Amino acid sequence: MTLSASKPQQQSSKHDAAPWAVLYRHTLLSLFAFRLLNALVLRTFFQPDEYYQSLEPAWWVAFGHDSGAWTTWEWKQHLRAALHPGLFALVYKSSNVLVTTLDLSASSRAAVLLATPKTLQAFIAALGDYYTYKHAQQVYGRHSRSAVCTILLTVGSAWNWFVSTRTFSNCIETTLTAVALYNWPYHWALGSDEVGFQLDSNILRIRRTDSVTLEEEEAIAEVDETTRLRRTLFCASTAVILRPTNAIIWLTLTTATFGRGMYRHGVHWEVDAFIRQGLFCSGIVLALSAFVDRLFYDVWTFPVWQFFKFNVLQSLAVFYGNNNWHYYLSQGYPLLLTATVVPAALGLRNALILRDEPRCVSIQSRLILHRLALVSIVLPMVLSVLSHKEVRFIYPILPALHVIAALPFAKLVGFTDIIASGNANRRQRTFKPTLFGAFFITINVMLASYFSLFHNSGLIKVTDYLRSEFEAIRLTQAEIQTQLNRNLTFAILMPCHSIPWRSHIQYPPTFTTPGISGWALTCEPPLNLTPSEKATYQDEADIFYLDPAVWLKQNMVRNPPSGPPSPGFYAPDPADAKKLWSNPNPQRGVWLNEGEGGQNTGVPNRRKRAWPDYLIFFEQLEPSMKATLGQSAYRECARFHNSLFHDDWRRTGDVIVWCLPDVHR
């Protein structure tokens, strides 16, 4: 017995659909071009994990332990899976081989190494957009107005423009989630007596499709249910390895799909197939991850357990922020959705009550929307239990929210269906622009432009400045011959991890060529301390900002420079190199060796820091710096606008660069 389901949004004729078919064939390429532009024009700093949880360890893997990369405490404690940085390490290695083969200059090499991770991330973001669109087609019908509105929502999202092309693990997690959600077997939750389904060769019910042409229908049919199930499980397993909290999504969907009585309706073979394929796919992903982790860490380890132990059992995540229980409701959803909050709320309401709109979606599609709504609510609800919260932690539900919001959004922006005169089965699409559409465009363009081009832009510009200074002053054959022992040195007197490191600064010093070397304030967490010690713990950045003048006197060599920089040291004797390192101990920070930079060997620091060529700090610190170093040789040599406002008082104002005489030319 079958129950007829209405056809999702009546389709136009083949002649009318031809332009849409051409557009569809080039959708992924168009999205990639769009995201590549997005990645290349993005010129602002968001959060340190964009660099220190991906590009820095990738640089470390690609170019060696003495390449100047800064690997944070999480990597030393084996908290992170190496799959994500391993992907970018391959890109770095491939790019370096290409640069070497083409014999490009050092500055060209730096440009290539800056651009290639952005290109890869642009493709990953485009895949996420593409599968969000395909998922909307699955729900609303191919070339339907709501599917078109979904692609408008995802490419018009200010959050996507600001975040999707950044190298966060959350971004690849979001793309993997979008692919897995598209391939998920939602229809297996329907009883065999509810809607008629065909069976494939493995006696698995085939999902219903809504295609315009026979060719499209046949192309979809070529991908059997087992293959699509494997795609879901591979992507979901990888997402969980990268971000263990992603498991909440798949536990929710699995319970919703099979929890109505796993062996009801005579479909127990689908449950068996799910379990078999789940063990197979997750086993492969787990084995691959273990192998990559073994190569990265040189020991067998299980980062998911380490992540749980440190962030949950020891509550170390609280060290990086503690938020109210309603954070995701009051800030998470609004920041993710911006102007799409209203249509998303309407879509969630309709999906959760399984509102019957037979002219818009089928029974299977209403089920999909209901499951997406569950996921979109359960993930933030569960994560609200944890003290440390960030908007990007719920980023994986944004593709689902865009699909859910598409139908209400289509109505709000002015899409309507009109029944043609004399033919109730023939529908014509019309579009009458509304104020909401203008509001949506204006808000997203304004937010995307400001936060992608201006807010925290000084933190990126200063890395470009250091690189250009090195290229202009030292990166010539004459300089190399005459100043073999001279690196460009800098210090970052800012809250920890305020700027990108080796992935953007480039030019690590070696024993044969000069480079850029520096140090920064650290913020190591309170590892292995008692609760009472944790309560009073202060990291190095905290101690510095209590009294910058005192910190400088205690941690720098006694007298600040009163003239041009001394020759300094370069390429120290390898036998003595360890003497120049320190343990990144909270009270002392990390001394970055001018000859190698970026790593530590656990040898305690027994010497004070030398004054560098460049001091970099926020405008908020300028009065203290003038009071402390006003009589020194340091003078302002660059200033970059950073932001109009900031929630951290230590980061307010411009980014200021002081330098010594004869350094800035």
Could you tell me if 96 and 113 are in contact, meaning their C-beta atoms sit under 8 angstroms apart? yes
pLDDT at 162: 97
Distance (Å, rounded) from C-alpha 238 to C-alpha 286? 8
* Percent of the chain clearing pLDDT 90 (strictly above): 55
Mean pLDDT calculated for residue range 510-522: 87
- Residue 199 tokens read as 């069976």
Distance (Å, rounded) from C-alpha 179 to C-alpha 156? 20
- Residue 635 tokens read as 């003078």
CA dihedral 3, 4, 9, 10 (to 10 degrees): 170
State the Cα angle at 499 between 557 and 335, rounded to 5°: 145
Q: Which of 141-155, 411-425, 529-543, 629-643 has the weakest average pLDDT?
A: 411-425
In b/e form, how buried is each residue of 383-392, taking b as 16+ CB within 10 angstroms? bbebbbbbbb
Distance (Å, rounded) from C-alpha 446 to C-alpha 4? 46
pLDDT at 392: 95
The one-letter amino acid code at 420 reads: A
Q: pLDDT digit string (tens) for 583-631? A: 333 333 333 333 333 333 333 344 688 899 999 999 999 999 999 998 8
Cα radius of gyration rounded to whole Å, the chain: 28
- The half-sphere exposure of 27 on its side-chain side, counting CA atoms within 13 A, is 22
Residue 419, phi-psi category: left (phi > 0), alpha (psi -120 to 50), beta (remainder): beta
Q: pLDDT digit string (tens) for 150-195? A: 999 999 999 999 999 999 999 999 999 999 999 999 988 876 655 5
Asked if the model's pLDDT at residue 477 lies above 70, the reply is no
Helices (H) and strands (E) in the chain, counts: 28, 7
Instruction: Write the CB contacts of 634 (distance below 8 Å, at least 6 apart in sequence).
Output: 560, 561, 615, 658, 659, 660
At 271, is the pLDDT very low, low, confident or very high (cuts 50, 70, 90)? Answer: confident
Q: Which one, of 160, 142, 225, lies nearest residue 187 by Cα?
A: 225
Cα-based distances in Å from 527 to 48, 74, 153 = 20, 11, 43
> What's the chain's average pLDDT?
82
658: which strand partners? 615, 636
Mean pLDDT calculated for residue range 538-564: 87
